[in-house]
A and B are shown apart, each in its own frame.
Chain A
Amino acid sequence: MSALLSVELRRMLARRLVLVFTVLAFVAIIVAAVITAVTSKPFEPAVRRQVVADRGATLQACLQDGPDWPPTPKNLTRRELCEQIIGPVFVPDQRFHLTGLRDVFLGTAFVLVVGGWLLGESFMGAEWHAGTLGTLLTWEPRRLRVFVAKLAAAAAVLFLLALVLQAVLGLVLAAAAALRGTTEGADAEWLRSVSGVAVRVAGLTAMAGAMGFAIATIGRNTAAALGVGFAYLAVVEGLVRGLRPQWSRWLIGDNAGVFLTGKAGCPPVSRSPLGAGGVIAVYTAVLLVAALVSFRERDVT
Chain B
Amino acid sequence: MFGFLGPNGAGKTTTIRCLLGLVRPTGGRCRLLGADVRTGLHRVIGRVGSIVETPTLYPRFSGRRNLQLLGRLHGIGKDRVADVLERVGLADRAGDPVKTYSFGMRQRLGIGAALLKDPEVLILDEPANGLDPAGIVEVRELLRSLGREGRTVFVSSHILSEVQQTADRVAILSRGRCVAAGPVDEVLAGGRARGLIVRVEDLPAGAEVLRAAGMPVSVDGDALRVDLPPSDAATVTRALAERGLYVTELRPDELDLETVFLELTREAEPS
Contacts and interface: CB of A to CB of B under 8 A. Distances in A.
Interface of A: 3-4, 6-7, 10-11, 14, 16, 130-132, 134-142, 297, 299-301
Given A14-B61, A138-B45, A3 B75 contact: yes
Chain B CB within 10 Å — which of A3, A139, A300 has the most?
Answer: A139
Tell me whether chain B's interface is mostly helix, strand or loop, or mixed.
Answer: loop
Given A131-B54, A134-B22, A138-B50, 10 more contacts: A7-B69, A138-B48, A139-B74, A140-B45, A141-B20, A141-B21, A141-B42, A299-B22, A300-B22, A301-B22
Contacts of B74: 3, 139
Contacts of A130: 56, 58-59
B15 to A, nearest CB: 13
B17 A301 contact: yes
A7 B61 CA distance: 13
Contacts of A132: 56-58
B93 interface: no
A46 B259 CA distance: 103
Nearest to B37: A141
Given A137-B22, A141-B20, A299-B22, A10 B69 contact: yes
Interface string B65-103: 000011011110000000000000000000000000000
A140 B42 contact: yes
Interface string B35-60: 00000011001001010101111111
Nearest to A297: B24
A3 B69 contact: no
Contacts of B70: 135-136, 139
Interface residues of B, number: 27
29 contacts: A3-B72, A3-B73, A3-B74, A3-B75, A4-B73, A11-B58, A11-B69, A130-B56, A130-B58, A131-B54, A134-B22, A134-B56, A135-B55, A135-B56, A136-B70, A137-B22, A138-B22, A138-B45, A138-B50, A139-B70, A139-B73, A140-B73, A141-B20, A142-B42, A299-B22, A299-B24, A301-B17, A301-B22, A301-B23
B228 interface: no
A4 to B, nearest CB: 6
Contacts of A6: 72
Main secondary structure of the interface of A (DSSP, over half): helix
Contacts of A137: 20-22
B173 interface: no
B139 interface: no
B226 interface: no
A4 B45 CA distance: 15
B60 A139 contact: no
Contacts of A138: 20, 22, 45, 48, 50, 52
B210 interface: no
B113 interface: yes
A4 B72 CA distance: 8
A109 B13 CA distance: 47
A50 to B, nearest CB: 61
Contacts of B23: 299-301
B47 to A, nearest CB: 12
A31 to B, nearest CB: 28
In the A-B complex, the 5 residue pairs with the closest CB atoms = A131-B56, A299-B23, A300-B22, A141-B21, A141-B41
Contacts of B55: 135
A11 B75 CA distance: 17
A144 B194 CA distance: 54
Nearest to A139: B73
A63 B20 CA distance: 96
Nearest to B56: A131
Contacts of A301: 17, 22-23
A10 B68 CA distance: 11
A295 to B, nearest CB: 12
A134 B42 contact: no
Contacts of B54: 131
Contacts of B21: 137, 141
A23 to B, nearest CB: 16
A299 B73 CA distance: 22
Contacts of B56: 130-132, 134-135
Nearest to A132: B56
Given A141-B21, A141-B45, A299-B24, A7 B58 contact: no
B188 to A, nearest CB: 33
Contacts of A134: 22, 52, 56
Interface string B1-39: 000000000000000010011111000000000000000
Contacts of B41: 141
Interface-centre pick from B24, B61, B72 (highest chain A CB count, 10 A): B72
Contacts of B57: 132, 135
